Structure 1
Amino acid sequence: MKLTDVATSADLLTTPTPALLLDRARLERNIARMSAHVARLGVRLRPHIKTHKCPTIARLQTAGQFGGITISTLAEGFAFAAAGFDDLLYAVPIEPGKFERVCRLARQVRRLAVITDDPAIPPGLAAAAQEAGIHLDVLIEIDCGDGRTGLPWDATDRIGDVARAIAASASLALAGLLTHAGHAYAARTTDERQTIARLECDRLRQVADELERKGFPIACISIGSTPTITALDTPLPPKVEVRPGNYVFFDAFQAQCGVCTFDDCALTVLTAVVHRSDDRIVVDAGAIALSKDIGAPDFFPRSGYGLVGDLEGCPLGLRVAAVSQEHGKIPLPDATWRSRFPVGTRLRIAVNHSCLTAAQHADYLVVTDGRIHDRWPMARGW
């Protein structure tokens, strides 16, 4: 099984390493598959662009969709607004230190939505919005089991307090509810992911029904992650928006968990051997190039910091077992392997977590038919 479809190319032999390689055919296949899937579900796709931070990729994702995107940093927001995206959801709880920047961003787009789970936030946010002469949509974040941020889905009174605080200002509008079922990443089977996804939907519907009984209309229920959205198989109410992100690239973690296959993984890091000995080789892709995500050890104990393939993408049965800042250590089964990896040998690392790995780089080298044909920059910073 190949990790990529890229054949040996002079481009890959001479490209400075480490470098982030993107297989365009796989990227486009992943995007088309998700677009078809959400159409079957009958929902709106608001892709989370934190995975790639690249306007070119976001245009591919939103083609044929309504055009909205999800961001995780305000730097992404300003970069994507400058690229022509005008319907943004900032899906990190807003805090007072960002009010001024949020208001500046809101002036540059048609719609900006933010999230909160704290009734103390809307009054200050409303004052900042009123002073700036802008309007903000606000979604209440609900915790449906992940335990990261958001109010517990059954904390009815506290959720009502946040809704009242938002509705009290003319410069804010209660736009809906949002949740992230991050605990789906620990699920071991499709059935388990499907159960979590259905609970995600059901719990937000219950919250929405309770708020509407109290007189707070809920126009949008925002759910999603790649594992939960891919697991859903029945249509959802039209007010639902989904926010998967990782699906554009997938990665070794998702493949090991069964969300995708290795043939779906579109992102690899090109690296060169800089040292060899009888028991290991060392490459120039370390923590800065790969990230320090150790993958899915519960599913695949030997995942390490990435799975090693040759220049054609064929897996070698090796892993990056340890990383320092600029070095990746790859153990060899025995001394006979040493001769296979002279210094300068190019290898491809299938990354554990494509979102974190991509964030380590400034751009993608886009590969089609075995050759690098383009360079796509990405937004950086917070």
Structure 2
Amino acid sequence: MLSISKPTLILDEEKCRYNIKRMKEKADANNQDFRPHFKTHQSNGIGLWLKEAGVQAITVSSLDMAFYFSQAGWNDITVAFPFNVLEAGELQKFPSNCHLTLLVDNEQAVSCLIALGLPLSVFIEIDSGAHRTGLSMSDKGSILKLIIKVRSSENLSFKGLYSHAGHSYQCRGEDEVKTVHKYLQDNLKALKHTLVEAGEIYVCTGDTPTCSVGSHFAGSDALSPGNFVFYDVMQAEIGACSYNDIAVAVACPVVSKNAERKEICIYGGAIHFSKDSVEIDGNQSFGQYVENVGELGWGNVVPGCNLKGLSQEHGILQVTDAVFNKIKVGDVVKILPIHSCLAAQCLGHYMTTGGMWVEHFVSIKSQR
């Protein structure tokens, strides 16, 4: 018989598979290759669900993660993080049948990859507004110069352009997301036209909000969202999904109650949720309390309740009188995470609502 005694990430397989199916169908309907980002789930078990849905090419965020998935048989992998020249030696360990595509935005990284002499593909990263890394969409000269340098090498293949509209995470509501999506697609389409002398340009883009809400993809050829497999409170507040689409919740034991403040202390802190938060109804929220449905299931968000603060192991849940009186020390409550990618990384494993454990890359890596 199951018994949860510490913070545990519960995964609703049915919701997760539905999220995968819906995004794959959207990519297919818009003639987009589907190269989903695996940085959210980081799991061979969940990767199998994506493979069963027809996914053949994947995206990851590190060479270590790429190697983990290559060992499970994935052989078309994009590492969507700027190539770190200090990890060049790591590329030697990949199996010969694994086709790697790396992300670059500078000549030094390209020169390093050329010197290695390994057969590799390269995406040039484009900054579409997040202002994190990548070449500006308006900097045709630098983009073209880097394309020419990649194409002049004997071992590198120019894959195309890659862009992540991370600024879509600042949106609130579908209309704002649609505005970012239109700007992204219109400008990528214009950029492809501007680079006509470079020939046909393949473009991959993939943030969950615009991929979830957008309906036209005239500037791209492939989609690589990641968070959509689980979604989370942040995505629901952005307008990328409904709360009913969220496929993970953190089960946390109740360890203390304070009647004066109507606060519940849970065993579930920053090391389980991360410290990401969003503002909901004027309050800072580190997670949303939901109804329990059996030991492993959950229902709707409960109004008037909010995970208001986190320290290392402690979580402080502000609740209504009715909820305070209902919950006892020793109960287990469910909290929807603000950022499911980070909660999964923190907790390092999953328990499905069917009672099965599913591995996470973090737990496998720690055993090496």
TM-score by length of 1: 0.88
Q: Could you list the per-position Cα deviations for residues 259-318 of structure 1 after superposition, in whole angstroms to 9, with x for gaps in the alignment?
A: 1111111100001110111121100011111111113x2x64325110112322243331
Q: Name the counterpart of 1:152.
A: 136
Q: Secondary structure at the match of 1:348?
A: strand
Match of 1:197 among 168, 175, 181: 181
For residues 346 and 109 of structure 2, the distance between their equivalents in structure 1, rounded to whole angstroms, comes to: 32
Whether 1:275 and 2:256 are equivalent positions in the alignment is: yes
For residues 98 and 187 of structure 1, the distance between their equivalents in structure 2, rounded to whole angstroms, comes to: 35
Q: Secondary structure at the match of 1:33?
A: helix
The AA in structure 1 aligned to 2:276 is D
Q: Secondary structure at the match of 2:292?
A: coil
Deviation (angstroms), 1:85: 0.5
Whether 1:320 and 2:307 are equivalent positions in the alignment is: yes
Contact in 2 for aligned 1:51/1:355 (Cα 8 Å)? yes
1:25-64 equivalences under 5 Å are 25-64=14-53
Contact in 1 for aligned 2:7/2:253 (Cα 8 Å)? yes
Deviation (angstroms), 1:118: 0.5
Q: Could you list the per-position Cα deviations for residues 294-353 of structure 1 after superposition, in whole angstroms to 9, with x for gaps in the alignment?
A: 13x2x643251101123222433311111111110112445x754322210110001111
Q: Name the counterpart of 2:273.
A: 290
How many residues were matched structurally? Answer: 356
Q: Name the counterpart of 1:342.
A: 328
Q: Name the counterpart of 1:174.
A: 158
For residues 128 and 36 of structure 2, the distance between their equivalents in structure 1, rounded to whole angstroms, comes to: 20
**Structure 2, gaps ≥5 residues long:** none
Deviation (angstroms), 1:66: 5.0
Contact in 2 for aligned 1:277/1:338 (Cα 8 Å)? no
The AA in structure 1 aligned to 2:15 is R
Deviation (angstroms), 1:126: 0.9
Inter-CA distance 44–337: structure 2 relative to 1 (3 Å threshold): closer
Contact in 1 for aligned 2:4/2:332 (Cα 8 Å)? no
Q: CA RMSD in A?
A: 2.0
Contact in 1 for aligned 2:70/2:98 (Cα 8 Å)? no
Q: Name the counterpart of 1:331.
A: 318
Contact in 2 for aligned 1:45/1:65 (Cα 8 Å)? no
Q: Could you list the per-position Cα deviations for residues 86-133 of structure 1 after superposition, in whole angstroms to 9, with x for gaps in the alignment?
A: 10000000021011113433x4543100011112221121111x1xxx
Q: Percent identity?
A: 28
**Structure 1, gaps ≥5 residues long:** 1-9
Q: Secondary structure at the match of 2:195?
A: helix
Deviation (angstroms), 1:243: 0.5
Q: Could you list the per-position Cα deviations for residues 33-58 of structure 1 after superposition, in whole angstroms to 9, with x for gaps in the alignment?
A: 11111121111110000010011212
Q: Name the counterpart of 2:203.
A: 221
Q: Secondary structure at the match of 1:365?
A: strand
Contact in 2 for aligned 1:255/1:261 (Cα 8 Å)? yes
1:341-360 equivalences under 5 Å are 341-360=327-346
Bigger relative contact order, structure 1 or 2, given CA contacts below 8 A and separation 6+? 1
For residues 254 and 142 of structure 2, the distance between their equivalents in structure 1, rounded to whole angstroms, comes to: 56
Whether 1:143 and 2:143 are equivalent positions in the alignment is: no
Q: Secondary structure at the match of 1:321?
A: strand
Q: Name the counterpart of 2:212.
A: 230
Inter-CA distance 45–355: structure 2 relative to 1 (3 Å threshold): same
The AA in structure 2 aligned to 1:291 is S
Q: Secondary structure at the match of 2:126?
A: strand
Contact in 1 for aligned 2:40/2:341 (Cα 8 Å)? yes
The AA in structure 2 aligned to 1:379 is F
- Which runs of 4 or more aligned residues in structure 1 lie more than 4 Å from their structure 2 counterparts after TM superposition? none
Contact in 2 for aligned 1:364/1:376 (Cα 8 Å)? yes
TM-score by length of 2: 0.91
For residues 266 and 154 of structure 1, the distance between their equivalents in structure 2, rounded to whole angstroms, comes to: 38
